[in-house]
Amino acid sequence: MAVLVGKKAPQFNAQAVINGGEFVTHFSLDQFIGKKHVVLFFYPKDFTFVCPTELHAFQAKLTEFEARNTALVAVSTDTEQSHYGWLQMDKNQGGIKGITYPLIADTNKTISTNYDVLAGETYYDENDMLQADGELIAYRGLFLIDKAGIVRHQIVNDLPLGRNVDEVLRMVDALQFVEENGEVCPANWNKGKSGIQATHEGVAEFLEKHVN
């Protein structure tokens, strides 16, 4: 699994559905460079089970991400038509009606490959026929990208393991705190808590005050 932290986020131009039902032909992260932080998260499949719980959980916190000037962008290997169909289904039917942030269609699986979150592998057999080992769908990868387009945080969950949206918000807060204050964030840091001066003295003072 590639570690992208500290590197430029792989760019793409792809089909997407935005605002709960509008098709876009060339969606790119370039629009956020110099303007917004981005939380780019991958999910395995439309019309499944854990995925709608995550998508709705992110939607429920969308205003909190927006208050932090942070864009939410979701990606799966389904088509844009599949995204659109799922967006028309009510929540009580397992649908994602009401989701307004962009859903990217990584139909050719290049985005998932470039972010190294594609489950399954392809190979050629003894008859030179292309085969696949496992489903070619995305793991639950998540990437926090700063305004310069650099990945600052990433996590990758296996397919059955849903993510904690509050933890994603905490990481956005931590990154923005570091950027604004020039201090570092200790273990279990939350918004409103003190940071640490990145010196031996600063660490010693923090440990003395906060760690028994």
Q: Are 176 and 182 in contact (CB under 8 A)?
A: no
H or E element in which residue 14 lies: strand 14-18
Q: Distances from the Cα of 164 to the Cαs of 55, 62, 186, in angstroms?
A: 11, 14, 20
Q: Distances from the Cα of 8 to the Cαs of 58, 105, 129, in angstroms?
A: 24, 21, 35
Q: Which residue in 97, 86, 91 sits closest to 44, CA to CA?
A: 86
- Quick one: tokens of 39? 């939380």
Q: What span, in angstroms and rounded, lies between the C-alpha atoms of 156 and 112?
A: 12
Q: Are 138 and 117 in contact (CB under 8 A)?
A: yes
Alpha helices in 71-109 (DSSP H): 80-87
Given the residues 29, 38, 51, 87, the one annotated as active site: 51
Q: Are 122 and 132 in contact (CB under 8 A)?
A: yes
Query: Is 51 a catalytic site residue?
Result: yes
Q: Which residue in 36, 13, 33, 29 sits closest to 105, CA to CA?
A: 13
Catalytic residues: 51
